[in-house]
Amino acid sequence: MDSTLLIAIVAVFIVSIIFSMFGQGGGSLYTPILFLLGYAALTSISTSLVLNLITALSAAIVYYRSNLVDIRFALWFVPGICLGAFLGGAITAYINPVLLMWLFVIFLVGAGGRMIYTYWEKSTPEGTCLIHYSQQMYALIVVFSFAVGILSGLLGVGGGILIVPFLIFLCRYPTKNSAGVVSFIVIFSSLFGVFGHLTSGGFDIPLIAGCAIAVFIGATIGARSMVKISSGYIKAGFGVILWIFAIQLILKLMHVI
């Protein structure tokens, strides 16, 4: 095993633990980590989607067993996010890889800021989930999920980092319940993003195989930890990490490093 692959495996293992604690797939860091290690943009994105799928699937199993997955509600997100993720994955082969990475820089800056902002937010009290929503809310869910799906397929992210605040602040879901629902949704965004990428190739089987084992173990550990502990201010600190990766991507794209 070469050193680059070993570093990639260790890195995604750590990321999978942290992200699965919040019901997210980890693509916000899988893609830039692989790209910074020297893998091609399309390979990084397609691998990230596969790892997202494994992370979300293993985390969703733990959440489901802990009664934290509202499948009936989560299914409203599925049609839009599946279609969007497939389209996003299919068109990546026709977009300049450098442009894709600049788009990812923008995503990291925004996502990092969003996570840092959670430090000052008041969390939604547990047990305040609404059972019924208006038709307008369900329509918004479909449109929102389609847009998140496009982004997911394009950049190799599961979309959880966008869906979580949508659930908490518009749907009024408590944090732990949101993590369970999002892990279920990310399964579909990642799966159909992979289907989209199959139309253009770019899969590195040894890389996927090695990292897949790492993220499966890491995601299970992270999801079990989330069931037992409060998220606290960890998200804010992790937002800073996203910004650090954004800076590193900028430097690499500008050929500084």
Q: What is the pLDDT of residue 59?
A: 80
Alpha helices for the chain (secondary structure H): 3-20, 27-36, 41-65, 71-74, 78-91, 97-117, 135-155, 160-169, 175-197, 205-228, 234-253
pLDDT digits (tens, 9 = 90+) for 26-58: 777 898 999 999 999 889 999 999 998 888 888
pLDDT digits (tens, 9 = 90+) for 100-126: 899 989 988 988 887 777 667 665 555
Task: Please state, in angstroms and as integers, the Cα–Cα distance from residue 105 to each residue in 22, 23, 49, 108, following that order.
Answer: 22, 22, 17, 5
Q: How many CB atoms lie within 10 A of CB 95?
A: 14
pLDDT digits (tens, 9 = 90+) for 133-171: 788 888 999 999 999 999 999 988 888 878 887 887 778
Q: What is the pLDDT of residue 61?
A: 87
Please report how many Cα atoms fall inside a 13 Å half-sphere around the Cα of residue 144, on the Cβ side. Answer: 19
pLDDT digits (tens, 9 = 90+) for 218-246: 888 887 776 555 555 566 776 787 888 88
Mean pLDDT of the chain: 84
Report whether 15 contacts 170 (CB < 8 A). no
Q: What is the pLDDT of residue 241?
A: 77
Q: What is the pLDDT of residue 166?
A: 85
Q: What is the mean pLDDT of residues 61-86?
A: 91
Owning domain of residue 74? 3-253
- Residue 97 pLDDT > 80, yes or no? yes
How far apart are alpha carbons 122 and 257 in whole angstroms?
39
Closest CA to 190 of 25, 73, 34, 43: 25
Q: What is the mean pLDDT of residues 17-31?
A: 74
Report whether 35 contacts 240 (CB < 8 A). no
Task: Please state, in angstroms and as integers, the Cα–Cα distance from residue 231 to each residue in 29, 38, 80, 127, 190, following that order.
Answer: 19, 33, 29, 16, 24
Q: Any idea how long the chain is?
A: 257
Number of domains in the chain: 1
Task: Please state, in angstroms and as integers, the Cα–Cα distance from residue 74 to each residue in 57, 180, 224, 227, 249, following that order.
Answer: 14, 9, 21, 19, 33
CA 207 to chain centroid: 19
Q: What is the mean pLDDT of residues 173-191?
A: 85
Q: Which two tokens stand for residue 182?
A: 């999002």
Q: What is the pLDDT of residue 58?
A: 83
